[in-house]
A and B are shown apart, each in its own frame.
Chain A
Amino acid sequence: MLESLANGPVLAALASGGAAVVALRLAWRRKGAGNRVLVAGGWLALALSTCLWSAAHGVEFGVSYALAWFALCATPAVVLNREYRQPQPDKAAPLTSTAPASTGHKWLTFLAAGPLALLASAPLTLLLTLLLPLARVNQMALAAVLFPTLWALAAYWTSASDRPLRFSLLFVLLGVASYTGLTVMNPSS
């Protein structure tokens, strides 16, 4: 495995990934034209690293390697920047920005962000992807990614709101409308 690292493009990819982190670290929290150049250079070095990894291992592996290497390079840069402080006790801080919610409110938020958002996201995902002019296999592949993403966004938005009842109703309506839409358009018929 180590032999696979000892070739030109990979060594250059490793170096440019490291250089990207170094440039970003040097420019961090500094102002001025020189630092703007460093920041731009850092991101360019990351792009170059990605291209070099892709040249060495193909684009499918190259992007994964480039991002993983970038994250690994950042670790020592962050650790070297650590600052020690005298231990202090924690002060209590508000747990939420709004007044504490009732138990019923919390359960309703859970119901809306969890099961209801899930049940609405599934048919909505299918409906949206089936409307796209793609082959069925590509529609399903897109749906496989879109479904958890839609659910996640719905859960986030519901949890950020203090009106779970409104979202519950919205998800029920969306789910019913999407199922109806799917039944009406039935792409297999």
Chain B
Amino acid sequence: MKPTLPPELVRRSLDAHSAIGLVVGALMYLICLTGTLAVLMESFERWEQPQVSEFETATPEAVANAVANYRAHMARESADAPGHLWVVMPVPTLPRMHVADEEQEWWTDSAGNFEDAPAAHWTEMLVALHVHLHLPQNIGIVLVSAAGAMLIALIVSGVFAHPRLFRDAFKFRRGGAKRLAQADLHNRLSVWGLPFHLMIAVTGAFYGLVGILVFTAAALFYDGDSDALFAEIYGGDPALEAPVIDVDTGAAMRHLADHAPGVTPLYLVIHDLDTPAQFMEIAASVPGRLAYSEIYRYDAAGEFLGSQELTTGPAGRQFLYSLYRIHFGAFGGHLTRITWVVLGLALTVVSATGVNIWLARRGRTDWINHAWAGFVWGSPLALAASAFASLALGVSPIAVFCAALVASLAYSLWRAAPLAAAGRLQHLCGATCIALAAWHAATLVHAHIDPVSHWLNGAIALGGLVLLVMGRRNTAGEPVVTREAIAGNPGA
């Protein structure tokens, strides 16, 4: 006899699953949608600014030249030395180099000469929307991470609430009653994506909630000094006191190439520039390791001080330094990112269909149905419209996003027919996507457009076409089905 879950547990779990899902449903949908797109953030950066020079590697001379150019800029501006100066090097997913201090940033060419300032306004808006919902950062990041924790709760309650979840693993009914069709879509995507969803939930919950843990632990054990706790976890910074000399970035990079020939440098940062405490760090990804990077430290003369042991130190340190790459699929190149987009899209659909099931169970249609349709299909429309407005017109993307989302909600509430409103919004979103891809391809055709931008334009146009087809189907109206008609047609 097969073990079965107690009916009371199943019943209670379903109640909990519904309650938690309803509380976080809209937030979860927006976070999943923006997170799915944010997986491609480097590609969107390239797409937004296709004229920037691209190259595969940065030579030590180019890095030194970039730092020299920064110093020249500082001298012209009579600016104080920054606390930190980064030279971010090209990697396969973003084959560009840029120099940044705490306030300013420039792309450079392959020789380290300054080009334009980064201007990926829409990508920045998208990432900020995913990470902290454009709320004050401390509040927003905790809210987003709380949604991650609630996703864990939804996964656990979902497994206990659906005793047939695995038995029905291949069951997929379309048509019929809307609730069953939505439930099948929700359950199939949930069960097959379960490991991925759990991984996204745990890593997503980490970023904001760890702040609460750190705050608590620092207050209890480190007199409120969270830096002391971080130093114990990640390793402390070297404390140097040396004569001030010009930093020799070339010596550091040449040493790294000899010391760790297999690693790929990601960035070089100079801390406390032009002070006796100045030192350099080179972060580099290590082949076969999931940890974001190892950090190699050098003094101003380029003498090796040691590594931070992020890939060789305690397991906990390596684990914590791996979470970013797991969450965003930032490993294995474009194929991994595409996979993360597909699985992220599945989680987005799970979020939307979860609420759809609850709406169908109510057996009535009111303003909640209308608002939900406006929100679900208004969000991608708002993202597409904000991208178009930002690229083509230079308008603030977050302003356009908010305006388009509010307009979509208002339209859907006014239309008072969820399926028809969804259809119109899908039409509009599809048309905007196609217009965006066409505008990008036509306007920026003379710029150096990398293959990724072509692929992205193709994907955006294809997504637009799919939305147009969906919109056409939905604007045709809900199928007119009455109980009387079914009663008269037993085969139905």
Contacts and interface: CB of A to CB of B under 8 A. Distances in A.
Contacts of A58: 288-290
A183 B169 CA distance: 49
Contacts of B212: 118, 122, 147
Contacts of A161: 12
B16 A156 contact: yes
A77 B196 contact: no
Nearest to B223: A188
B149 A136 contact: no
A97 B290 contact: no
Contacts of B202: 145, 148-149
Contacts of B196: 67-68, 71
A16 B360 CA distance: 40
A24 B176 contact: no
Interface in A49-102: 57-58, 60-61, 64-65, 67-72, 74-75, 77-79, 81-98
Given A122-B212, A155-B20, A89 B222 contact: no
Contacts of A155: 20, 149-150, 153
B288 A57 contact: yes
B84 interface: no
Contacts of B75: none
A110 B23 contact: yes
Interface stretch (B294-302, B310-318, B381-389): B310-318
Interface of A: 1-2, 4-5, 24-25, 28-29, 57-58, 60-61, 64-65, 67-72, 74-75, 77-79, 81-98, 109-110, 113-114, 118, 122-123, 125-126, 134-145, 147-149, 151-153, 155-157, 159-161, 182-183, 186-188
B438 to A, nearest CB: 28
A134 B222 CA distance: 19
Contacts of A147: 205, 209-210, 212-213
Given A74-B192, A136-B233, A148-B149, 5 more contacts: A29-B167, A86-B486, A96-B15, A137-B314, A148-B206
Contact of A186 (B177, B220, B339, B483): B220
Nearest to B153: A152
Contacts of A140: 213, 217, 229, 233, 316, 320
Contacts of B346: 71
Given A74-B192, A81-B171, A148-B209, A97 B14 contact: yes
B146 interface: yes
The majority secondary structure among interface residues of chain A is: helix
Contacts of A113: 20
B342 interface: yes
22 contacts: A1-B335, A58-B288, A74-B169, A86-B175, A86-B492, A89-B483, A90-B177, A96-B15, A118-B146, A126-B217, A135-B314, A135-B316, A138-B316, A140-B320, A141-B319, A141-B320, A145-B202, A148-B209, A155-B150, A156-B156, A157-B16, A160-B157
Contacts of B172: 78-79, 81-83
Contact of B174 (A60, A83, A143, A156): A83
A156 B154 CA distance: 8
A152 B150 contact: yes
B446 interface: no
Contacts of B415: none
3 A-B pairs closest in CB distance? A92-B363, A141-B316, A148-B205
Nearest to B317: A137
B216 A61 contact: no
A107 to B, nearest CB: 11
Interface in B401-422: none
